[in-house]
């Protein structure tokens, strides 16, 4: 598992390495070993429909779920996961290209030439 933000905060306070709390399954060694062998794509035309494995439901034809697009404009912002907190991204400061100070831009610069 990966520790939550509270566990990370507690670990930092107690001077425990946060990396040591992350499960071994997330290690690079495990990831590379998972993809070590070749993975072959399933050929759609080569599939024998009669012998398809549909989870033990033989003879039952499975259709995709009946869905309709919800009304309204699709949201642009991602739905946060459980325990995830919205991080405020700091505003980029305007730096004037003419006098190199912040707070205004070249067009509104009042510095003497």
Nearest approach, Cβ of 106 to Zn ion (angstroms)? 7
**What residues make contact with Zn ion under the rule CB under 5 A?**
96, 98-99, 109, 111
Using alpha carbons, select from 19, 2, 4 the residue that is nearest to residue 85. Answer: 4
Write out the two tokens for 60: 């039952």
User: Cβ closer to Zn ion: 9 or 95?
Assistant: 95
Nearest approach, Cβ of 111 to Zn ion (angstroms)? 5
User: Cβ closer to Zn ion: 4 or 111?
Assistant: 111
Nearest approach, Cβ of 105 to Zn ion (angstroms)? 7
For residues 25-57, b (16+ Cβ closer than 10 Å) or e, as one string? eeeeeeeeeeeeeeeeeeeeeeeeeeeeeeeee
User: Cβ closer to Zn ion: 30 or 106?
Assistant: 106
């Amino acid at each position: 598992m990966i520790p939550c933000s509270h566990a990370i905060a507690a670990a930092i306070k107690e001077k425990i390495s946060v990396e040591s709390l992350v499960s071994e399954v997330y290690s690079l060694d495990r990831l590379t070993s998972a993809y070590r062998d070749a993975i072959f794509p399933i050929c759609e035309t080569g599939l024998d429909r009669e012998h398809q494995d549909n989870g033990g439901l033989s003879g039952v034809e499975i259709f995709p779920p009946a869905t309709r697009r919800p009304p309204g404009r699709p949201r642009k912002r991602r739905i946060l996961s459980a325990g995830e907190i919205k991080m405020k991204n700091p505003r980029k400061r305007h730096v004037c290209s003419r006098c190199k100070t912040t707070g205004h831009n070249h067009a509104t610069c009042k510095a003497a030439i």
